[in-house]
């Protein structure tokens, strides 16, 4: 908690000092260097992704497809299997095949699943857009 406002005073003095001793040209150089570093990091990550995808081990190269399959199976359970299962469960309890005291299997919390799957689908749609436009994605740089 900042009862006396000291944090704001220090921030204001820092901003004034920054304005007095840093020219626009220096700020642009700093921003340009930050962009270069960011670009370098992105290229490095692309190289890592490329190496992972070409790896002979399915444990290394197969983690993305695995996440896709897990997401697909989870979505199938959530929207296809579970509704049919609950319908069957109700029918089976009505016919006394399953005791009424036993409750049906639980529905899963799908929030985290949707975040992962929609993220993957977003990435997949970007690749589809590239293919549609004929973008050469094999060329790096």
What is the residue extent of each domain of the chain?
7-57, 62-141
Quote the pLDDT of residue 71. Answer: 83
Please state the length of the chain. Answer: 141
- Identify the pLDDT of residue 92: 94
Residues 112, 110: Cα–Cα separation, whole Å:
6
Per-residue pLDDT of the chain (141 residues; tens, 9 = 90+): 455 556 676 677 667 666 666 677 877 887 888 888 888 877 877 777 677 677 677 666 677 778 778 888 888 998 899 999 999 999 999 999 999 899 888 888 878 877 877 777 766 666 666 666 776 656 554
**3-class SS at 101?**
coil
Question: What's the CA gap between 42 and 45, in Å, rounded?
Answer: 5
Q: Which of 80, 81, 82, 48 is nearest to 64 (CA)?
A: 48
């Amino acid at each position: 908690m900042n009862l006396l406002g000291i944090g704001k005073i220090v921030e204001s003095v820092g901003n004034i000092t920054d304005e007095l001793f840093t020219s626009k040209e220096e700020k642009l150089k700093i921003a340009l260097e930050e962009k270069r570093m960011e670009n370098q990091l992105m290229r490095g990550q692309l190289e890592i992704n490329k190496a992972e995808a070409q790896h002979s081990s399915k444990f290394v190269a197969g983690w993305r497809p695995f996440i896709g399959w897990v997401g697909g199976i989870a979505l199938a359970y959530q929207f296809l299997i579970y509704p049919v299962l609950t319908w069957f469960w109700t029918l089976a309890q009505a016919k006394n095949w399953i005791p009424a005291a036993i409750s049906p299997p639980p529905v899963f919390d799908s929030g985290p699943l949707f975040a992962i799957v929609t993220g993957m689908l977003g990435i997949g749609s970007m690749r589809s857009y590239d293919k549609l436009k004929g973008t050469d994605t094999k060329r790096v740089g």
